[in-house]
Amino acid sequence: MPTPDKKPEPQPLPESDGSVARLGGERTHFYVRGLFIIMLVYGLYFARDFFMPVMLAFLFALTLTPIVRYLGKRGVPPTLSATLLVVVAAFTLAVSAYLLSGPVGDLISRAPAMGQEIRERLAEIEGPLQRIMRATKQIEGATDTVRDPTIQRVAVDQPGIISRAAGSLPTLLTTVTITFVLALFLLASGTLFYEKIIQSFASLSAKKRALRVVYDVEREISRYLLTVSLINFGLGTAVAAGLWLLGVPNPVLWGVMAALLNFLPYVGALITISVVAFISLISFDTLSFAVVPPLYVLLCNVLEGQIVTPVILGRRLELNAVAIFVAVAFWTWMWGFVGALIAVPMLVVIKVFCDHFDSLRHIGNFLSAQQQPVEDDDEATEAP
Q: Are 53 and 342 in contact (CB under 8 A)?
A: no
Sorting pLDDT into bands at 50, 70 and 90, what band is 370?
low
Q: Are 45 and 173 in contact (CB under 8 A)?
A: no
Give the pLDDT confidence score for residue 29 in this predicted structure: 74
The backbone torsions φ and ψ at residue 369, rounded to the nearest 5 degrees and listed phi first, read -85, -20
Residue 224 has pLDDT above 80, yes or no: yes
Give the pLDDT confidence score for residue 161 in this predicted structure: 43
Q: Are 340 and 264 in contact (CB under 8 A)?
A: yes
Question: Residue 368 forms beta bridges with which residues?
Answer: 319
Residue 372 has pLDDT above 70, yes or no: no
Please tell me the least confidently modeled range out of 22-36, 124-138, 253-267: 124-138
What three-state secondary structure class fits 262?
A: coil
Give the pLDDT confidence score for residue 166 in this predicted structure: 46
Give the pLDDT confidence score for residue 383 in this predicted structure: 38
Residue spans per domain, the chain:
23-121+170-190, 223-311, 315-375
Region 191-216 average pLDDT? 77
Region 363-380 average pLDDT? 61
Highest mean pLDDT out of 65-74, 140-149, 309-318, 360-369? 65-74
Region 256-267 average pLDDT? 87
Residue 146 has pLDDT above 50, yes or no: no
The rounded distance, in Å, linking the Cα atoms of 236 and 261 is: 10
The reported pTM is 0.72
% of the chain beyond a pLDDT of 70: 75
Give the pLDDT confidence score for residue 352 in this predicted structure: 82
Mean pLDDT of the chain: 78
pLDDT tens for 81-129 read: 999 999 999 999 898 888 888 888 877 777 777 777 777 666 655 555 5
Region 69-83 average pLDDT? 88
Residue 137 has pLDDT above 60, yes or no: yes
Nearest C-alpha neighbor of 273 from the set 252, 298, 291: 298
